Structure 1
Amino acid sequence: MSSGGPAGAAMDPSQMPAAPPPPGHTPDFDTHDNYKHRNIILHPIVLAFTTVVVLIRLYTRAVVKKKFGVDDSTTWRFGVHIYDIRATEIINTLKGKCMSYAAFPWATGIFNMISDFYILALPLPPILRLNMPLGRRLRIASIFGLGLFTCVTSIMRFVVSRQYARDPDQTYVAAEVLHWTVLEINVGLICACAAVFPAFFDKTAPRSLGSLVGSLLARRSQS
Structure 2
Amino acid sequence: MATGYLGALPPPPGVEPNFDDPPSQLSANIALHTVCLTAATLAVAIRLYTRTIVTKNKLGIDDFLCLFSYALTITFSGLMITCYQWGIGRHMWDVPALWIPGALKYFTIAQYIFQGLSCAIKLTFLFFFHRVFWAQTKLAYFIYFGVVFVVCSNAGLLFATIFSCSPVARAWNPMLPGHCVSPKILPYLSGGLNLATDLYIFALPMRPLWQLNMQLERKMKLVAVFGLGSFACIAGLVRLAKTPVLYSSLDASWNISEIAIWAVIEVNIGIICASSTTFPAFVDRHCPKAIRGPLARLWSYATSRKTTPTGSAKTTSGQCAAGPAPAQTWAPHDFVELSDADGASARKTISKGSDRVYEEQHA
Asked whether the two chains share a fold, i.e. TM above 0.5, the reply is yes
Question: Which residue number corresponds to residue 6 of structure 1?
Answer: none
In structure 2, C-alpha distance between the alignment counterparts of 1:212 and 1:119, rounded to whole Å: 31
Question: Which residue number corresponds to residue 289 of structure 2?
Answer: 209
Matched, 1:47 2:37: yes
Matched, 1:180 2:190: no
Sequence identity (%): 36
Question: Which residue number corresponds to residue 93 of structure 2?
Answer: 83
- Residue 126 of structure 1 deviates from its aligned partner by 0.9
- Residue 84 of structure 1 deviates from its aligned partner by 1.0
- Residue 57 of structure 1 deviates from its aligned partner by 0.6
Which of the residues 163, 182, 200 maps onto 1:100?
182
In structure 2, C-alpha distance between the alignment counterparts of 1:168 and 1:60, rounded to whole Å: 49
- Residue 147 of structure 1 deviates from its aligned partner by 1.2
Question: What's the C-alpha RMSD, in Å, of the aligned pairs?
Answer: 2.3
Does the 8 Å CA contact 1:102/1:166 hold for their aligned counterparts? Answer: no
Helix, strand or coil at the partner of 2:180: coil
* Structure (1/2) with the larger helix percentage: 1
The 5 Å alignment of 1:188-199 reads 188-199=270-281
CA distance change for structure 1 residues 113 and 141 in 2, over 3 Å: closer, same or farther?
Answer: same
Question: Which residue number corresponds to residue 141 of structure 1?
Answer: 223
Which of the residues 43, 49, 52 maps onto 1:62?
52
- Residue 106 of structure 1 deviates from its aligned partner by 1.2
Does the 8 Å CA contact 1:105/1:165 hold for their aligned counterparts? Answer: no
CA distance change for structure 1 residues 91 and 155 in 2, over 3 Å: closer, same or farther?
Answer: closer
Question: Which residue number corresponds to residue 71 of structure 1?
Answer: 62
Question: Which residue number corresponds to residue 129 of structure 1?
Answer: 211
- Residue 15 of structure 1 deviates from its aligned partner by 2.1
- Residue 54 of structure 1 deviates from its aligned partner by 1.2
Matched, 1:112 2:112: no
Give structure 1 stretches of 5+ with no counterpart: 2-8, 214-223
Helix, strand or coil at the partner of 1:29: coil
In structure 2, C-alpha distance between the alignment counterparts of 1:90 and 1:114, rounded to whole Å: 33
Q: Deviations over 1:12-66 (max 9, x none)?
A: xx52111222233221111111101111221111211121111111111010111
In structure 2, C-alpha distance between the alignment counterparts of 1:98 and 1:194, rounded to whole Å: 41
Give structure 2 stretches of 5+ with no counterpart: 67-82, 103-171, 294-363
- What is the letter of the counterpart of residue 84 of structure 1? D
CA distance change for structure 1 residues 186 and 212 in 2, over 3 Å: closer, same or farther?
Answer: closer
Question: Which residue number corresponds to residue 240 of structure 2?
Answer: 158
- What is the letter of the counterpart of residue 173 of structure 2? L
- What is the letter of the counterpart of residue 32 of structure 2? L
In structure 2, C-alpha distance between the alignment counterparts of 1:135 and 1:177, rounded to whole Å: 39
In structure 2, C-alpha distance between the alignment counterparts of 1:91 and 1:123, rounded to whole Å: 45
Which runs of at least 4 in structure 1 moved beyond 3 Å after TM superposition? Answer: 210-213
Question: Which residue number corresponds to residue 250 of structure 2?
Answer: 168
TM-score under structure 1 length normalisation = 0.81
- What is the letter of the counterpart of residue 137 of structure 1? K
TM-score under structure 2 length normalisation = 0.51
CA distance change for structure 1 residues 141 and 107 in 2, over 3 Å: closer, same or farther?
Answer: same
- What is the letter of the counterpart of residue 219 of structure 2? R
